[in-house]
Each structure stands twice: as structure tokens, then as C-alpha cells.
Amino acid sequence: MSERNTFIRSLHDVGLAVWFGGSLMGAIGLNGAAKDEGGTAAATDRIASAGWAKWTPVNAVAIGAHLFGGGGLLAVNAPRVATQQGVAASTAAKTVVTAAALAATAYARALGKKVELASSSDPQDADMARQHPIDLDKARRQLTCAQWVVPALTGCLVVLNALHGEQQRPGEQIPGMWDRARAASHFMM
């Protein structure tokens, strides 16, 4: 029984690839270039903020594609998740890591927006920043950390996807389902 799910698998995988790759490139390339070219802390913040702001819509689409594809894969693989030994545990781990990556991404964007407003040369942004003052040095440190947490977590998702791929091999499915059935029979005795 061979059923192809190329479209949802592609959404899932390409979305994750963009999320991971973009966050890693931003943390290394964009932030590094802004630091090299900025000259001052405020100029560095403005350059980095401009780049991250341009990336945000693309990242949002990528995350949406990943989540939509992941939901579709979960739906079509529900019987395997329920019956094959180890698949439910790896699916639960993947769900927790995805939630953490989403939270880290949202937190990084919120911090980035605060730094952007505090370092902006636009009078309206400067006025808004004065109305909502922040400890800019602390926000910069937290932002740097959050921007590294995102590729770390999405990298973990890439590894969990590799595990799921291995679990889908025919040689893994039947023994895994047999092990699950055998374990369940011990509870019935």
C-alpha cells in the first residue's frame, strides 16, 4: 500500500528548511554584516533591524507551510503513530520542539521590534520608544541569545525529521507495530 504525500511533505520540509536556514543566516550573516558595517551600536541595530524586518514575512510563510505540512503528515500517518513503537514518542518530542521554536521565534521578533524602535531615527518610532522605554543593552543581549536559540531548535527538528524518515522504512514499520502489539498484550494479561 503505497500512498504518496509529496505536496504536504514538501510544504513541511521546505518550510522547515527556510525557517532553519534563514534564522541561521540571519544570526551569522545579517547580524555579522550589520556589526561590521554599522560603526555605532544604533547604526548596527538599524541595519540588522531592517534586514530582519524584510525577512519576517518570508519566515512567517515558511513557518505556516511547515505547520500546515506537519499537520497533514500527522493526519495521514495517524495509524502509524498509534501502532508503531517509538513513533508516538518521536512525534511528541517533535511537537514540543516545534512549540519551543515558535515561542523563540516570536520572542526574538518582539525583542527585535523593541530594539528597532529604540534605535530608529524616525521621529514617530523614537516617540513610541520614549513612551515604552526599555533597557536597550539588556534587550540586545536577550535578542542575540534568542536569535541563536531559533536555529538550534529548528536544527533539532531537522534531526527529528531524519528519525521519522528512518521510522518509515518498511523494515522498521512491521517490527515496530509488532513490538507495540506485544507490549500492549502484556498489559492485558
d(CA 27, CA 137): 18
- Residues contacting residue 34 through CB under 8 Å, at least 6 positions apart: 44, 45, 47, 48, 51
- Cell readout for 124 is 514617530
- Are the C-beta atoms of residues 163 and 90 closer than 8 Å to each other? yes
Helix (H) or strand (E) holding 54: helix 41-76
Per-residue DSSP letter, 5: -
| Angle value at C-alpha 40, between 143 and 28, nearest 5 degrees | 45
pLDDT tens, 121-169? 777 766 776 777 788 899 999 999 999 999 999 999 999 999 888 877 6
- Are the C-beta atoms of residues 157 and 94 closer than 8 Å to each other? yes
d(CA 3, CA 84): 18
- Residues contacting residue 93 through CB under 8 Å, at least 6 positions apart: 160
What average pLDDT is seen over the chain? Answer: 88
pLDDT tens, 89-118? 999 999 999 999 999 999 999 999 999 888
